[in-house]
A and B are shown apart, each in its own frame.
Chain A
Amino acid sequence: MTPFRTVAGVFAAIQTVKAGAAGFCTNFFPDGQKLQDWVERNELHGESCAGALFLFRRDHDFSRLYFCAASPAALRAGIATLAGLRNERIVVDLVGKESAPGEIFLALEAAGFRRYQQLCRMARPGQSALQAAGGAELPVTLAGHADVPAILALLEGAFDRYAEQLPLTAEIENAVASGQIFVVRLEGVLAGLLFFETQGVTSILRYWLVAEAFRARHVGAALMRHYLATQSTVRRFLLWVIASNDNAVQKYRRYGFVPDGLVDHVLASEPIYNENHR
């Protein structure tokens, strides 16, 4: 595999797949800044073959696989040539409408990937009235640099790193510096956090979490109400949640979020699948 040293190199490699192709299928939709960060941190490696490019991004103790292919058939043929894929710890995200992902899924399944988890996207208009009450008296502040280790520990203790795209320390530090993490502190410790990314008129709620010891004390409500109230120019709020997590889905519904039909099928290679489905 070849490491990518520049963002331009990534786009050039993608272009070789697109050039002359009648079609194109991919699961690679990187945000410009994120792609820059991945390249700078030397996390992104690629391997290409006729009609397909495979990009591997190191994430914690496993890799995320992205593909760009001229067709599902090219994807299937290309992925079969990757040596040792079945023994590696790899996760693939396939985002699409709720219907079965079809040929692309079958190509990945043939290469040894199995359904691991499913996330659904939920959306909320910017000007919805808030109905949920509670938490108004709790002080919500922006996270500071000193909070980074506690934020990381809370996130890693509560979320599934394979399915939920957990941030690394550097990403949390950047979010803190950009004012994108709200926290509630109680009894001198971090009781809860809300991590978001607002760009223009869209805001993505990435993580909303209350530490176990502080649940049922309206910490979550305080964070959510503060978040929604402070993003006054936002017209669309989005989030991804594990579709089978009824408790979380219900909580989001209470704040006006509804599924918008987009689904993320998370597939995992057998070492990860077996580790979590014994």
Chain B
Amino acid sequence: MKTIADILKEIRPEFDFTTSTDFKADGMLDSFDMVTLVATLDKTYGISISGADIVPENFQNLETIAALLRKNGVQP
């Protein structure tokens, strides 16, 4: 199973996401990337992330994305 870092690397291969604690502030993830990320997470883990959870704070860093996956029953 791909890790969150693997998935992010596929979306934006030019960045090292493991070094950032705030992807948006560091210019690594914009709103359009976030839409791609949600679709990829849904497909990879067989989940459906609720529209209410598609907010920047849930995609701030690897930890917050992991917490969002746990909320959806996935142990990343």
Chain A residues with CB under 8 Å of chain B are 15, 17-19, 21-24, 29, 70, 95, 125-126, 198-203, 234-236, 262
Contacts and interface: CB of A to CB of B under 8 A. Distances in A.
Contacts of B30: 29, 202
Nearest to A198: B27
A206 to B, nearest CB: 14
Q: Interface SS of chain B: helix, strand, loop or mixed? A: loop
Interface in B1-54: 12, 14-15, 25-28, 30-32, 48, 50-52, 54
A235 B14 contact: yes
Contacts of A125: 14
A202 B27 contact: yes
Given A29-B30, A198-B27, A202-B27, 12 more contacts: A21-B50, A21-B52, A24-B51, A24-B54, A29-B31, A29-B32, A70-B51, A95-B32, A200-B25, A200-B28, A234-B27, A236-B12
A18 B52 contact: yes
20 contacts: A15-B52, A17-B51, A18-B50, A18-B51, A18-B52, A21-B50, A21-B52, A24-B52, A70-B51, A126-B14, A199-B26, A199-B27, A200-B28, A201-B26, A201-B27, A201-B28, A202-B30, A203-B27, A235-B14, A262-B32
A199 B54 contact: no
A17 B27 CA distance: 28
Interface of B: 12, 14-15, 25-28, 30-32, 48, 50-52, 54
A60 B52 CA distance: 32
A23 B35 CA distance: 13
Nearest to B12: A236
B59 to A, nearest CB: 13
Contacts of B27: 198-203, 234, 236
Contacts of A19: 52
Nearest to A21: B51
Contacts of B31: 29
Contacts of B52: 15, 18-19, 21, 24
Contacts of A235: 14-15
Contacts of A18: 50-52, 54
Nearest to B29: A202
Contacts of B25: 199-200
A19 B50 CA distance: 9
A269 B32 CA distance: 25
A10 to B, nearest CB: 12
A160 to B, nearest CB: 22
B21 to A, nearest CB: 12
Which of B26, B30, B51 has its CB near the most chain A CB atoms (within 10 A)?
A: B51
A225 to B, nearest CB: 21
Given A95-B32, A262-B32, A201 B15 contact: yes
B24 to A, nearest CB: 8
Nearest to B27: A200
